[in-house]
Amino acid sequence: MDNLADNLATTAERHGDHIALKLDETEIPYAALDAASARVAGLLRLRGIGAGARVGIMLPNVPQFAVAYYGVLRAGAVVVPMNPLLKAREVEFYLADSEARLVFAWHEFAAAAEAGATAAGAETVGVTPGPFERLLASVEPKAEVVGMEGDDTAVILYTSGTTGKPKGAELTHANLGLNVEAAVDLLGLDAHSVVLGVLPLFHAFGQTCAMNAAVAVGATLSLISRFNASKALEIIERDRVTAFEGVPTMYVAMLHAPDSETYDTSSLRVCMSGGAAMPIEVMHGFEQRFGCTVLEGYGLSETSPMASFNHPDRERKPGSIGTPVTGVEMKVVDDNGNDVPQGESGEILIRGHNVMKGYWRRPEATAEAIRDGWFHSGDIGRVDEDGYFFIVDRKKELIIRGGYNVYPREIEEVIYEHPAVREAAVIGIPHPELGEEVGAAIALKPGTTATEAEIRDHVKSNVAAYKYPRHVWFMDELPKGATGKILKREIKPPVGVPAAKGVS
């Protein structure tokens, strides 16, 4: 059997009394996590949901996420992870596109979840601590793990790229299982490790390198439901955390927390950074302050996510995303697909066990992304004489705000729904804490009026809170090229707003 849920069943047999999950004062041993996941599988069976069916999980970083996740996989079904901050229209798209029959939704976000699920024709199972556990207790557990092939889809992770509607990257049991092995190896995890769970579990990085990696070896995952630098340091001290994975903005916040030197973080041994480039001075400062090793790397939702990393037993090159992880190949090519000379820039291509099966029911998009066996990342990079890769430029328009991806096209489409808007362009603006902030330049239709607040509120009511533009400004005309395409690189925010990404 190649079901990713086998990792939990095996670990529960070997380390049943080890603490699997912690959240504040709550502690759940592996035996209890395994038993609860079996009851989720039983609940799905009662609802007529079996192998291959899609099930949404719209939960924050709480123990119930792991319970639902492994229960869905145990039943042979496919997990569709969803940001709990999604609004109703977004929920409807995720569930309708994946044809999910059911969604587990956190009680604090039930209204949006239920409205979106109803519109998509899906059932909602509310997850409220206490009532949810009582519901599971009333269900006959389904203890056996459904046998799966390695190429069977385990998770559909939605990612937009930079254009169009979000696409569901189909990650298989083998994709995820082998990427978990790579993460365990890089981090040196074992049953005595304690992993800090601050990355969102609905994202590939947190799922693979924190939750699934911890479960594979019987380590403890100590969760934080919403990142806060002082809280993270407090948990590192309290639980003697040994491994931490995060995005650069988290490292910046922890390094500059006013009380950072008051915590005992001597247990912290190794850290992983991904999602965006980490400033070299931040890496050095973090390592000196907290006495740990920071490994920077690179990956995408489509690559499960790890593609390359700096390795603890080799030279670490600051500013580099390291070398490909075991079983993965990478190269840099020009626009014609030819390898570029060493040191020159080109598109990064990836091949290996980590590359997704394809985009869910998007054969054209899959054919465009995976050509001749190589996944085309859309990211620009270079490789040095030692085989170390460096990112030169992220996908041109992608905005990474506090570790969350914001896709300009999605926000622009919502802005265009406002009756006064003629043209809109969404760009990233440097931000000292978040990395980037979302900005929108807008040209109005003749004879119409709108205020910055109206535009912001319009977008805010239709997308998750981290996506709406904090900076809105109006222009008579947006700059365009010869073909009429808006030239975002020529858009400059007004005085008082920091210069836009790529604009001096």
Residue-by-residue DSSP string for 380-421: EEEE-TTS-EEEEE--TT-EEETTEEE-HHHHHHHHHTSTTE
Q: What is the largest distance, in Å, between two alpha-carbon atoms of the chain?
A: 71
Of the candidate ranges 11-20, 186-195, 405-414, 476-485, the one whose mean pLDDT is the lowest: 476-485
Q: What is the pLDDT of residue 109?
A: 96
What is the pLDDT averaged over residues 188-195?
A: 98
d(CA 25, CA 88): 32
pLDDT (tens digit per residue) in 293-319: 999 999 999 999 999 999 999 999 988
Q: Is 399-490 a domain of CATH 3.40.50.300?
A: no
CB 438 within 8 A of CB 449: no
Of the candidate ranges 262-276, 358-372, 392-406, 445-459, the one whose mean pLDDT is the lowest: 392-406
Residue 165 has pLDDT above 60, yes or no: yes
Q: What is the pLDDT of residue 482?
A: 57
Q: What is the pLDDT of residue 405?
A: 81
Reduced to 3 states (helix: H, G, I; strand: E, B; else coil), residue 1 is coil
Q: What is the pLDDT of residue 396?
A: 66
CB 347 within 8 A of CB 333: yes
CATH of the domain spanning 1-148: 3.40.50.12780
d(CA 221, CA 239): 10
CB 199 within 8 A of CB 170: no
What is the pLDDT averaged over residues 112-119?
A: 98
Q: In this prediction, what percent of the chain has a pLDDT beyond 70?
A: 96
Q: What is the pLDDT of residue 500?
A: 42
**Domain residue ranges in the chain:** 1-148, 176-352+364-395, 399-490
d(CA 61, CA 18): 20
Of the candidate ranges 31-40, 212-221, 267-276, the one whose mean pLDDT is the lowest: 267-276
d(CA 157, CA 497): 34
3-class secondary structure per residue, 235-287: HHHHHCCCEEEECHHHHHHHHCCCCHHHCCCCCCCEEEECCCCCCHHHHHHHH
Q: Output the CA–CA distances (angstroms, integers) from residue 110 to 102, 200, 459, 482, in the order listed.
A: 13, 19, 20, 48
Cβ-proximal residues to 139 (8 Å cutoff; 6+ apart), any chain: 39, 42, 43, 46
Cβ-proximal residues to 157 (8 Å cutoff; 6+ apart), any chain: 81, 168, 169, 171, 203, 204, 301
Residue type, 96: A
Of the candidate ranges 417-421, 460-464, 495-499, the one whose mean pLDDT is the lowest: 495-499
Predicted confidence band at 485 (pLDDT cuts at 50, 70, 90)? low
187 φ/ψ angles, rounded to the nearest 5 degrees? -85, -10
The tally of CA atoms less than 13 A away on the side-chain side of residue 369 is 24
What is the pLDDT averaged over residues 255-274?
A: 94
Same fold, 1-148 and 176-352+364-395: yes
What is the architecture, at CATH level 2, of domain 176-352+364-395? 3-Layer(aba) Sandwich (3.40)
What is the pLDDT averaged over residues 79-88?
A: 96
Residue type, 55: V
Q: What is the pLDDT of residue 160?
A: 64
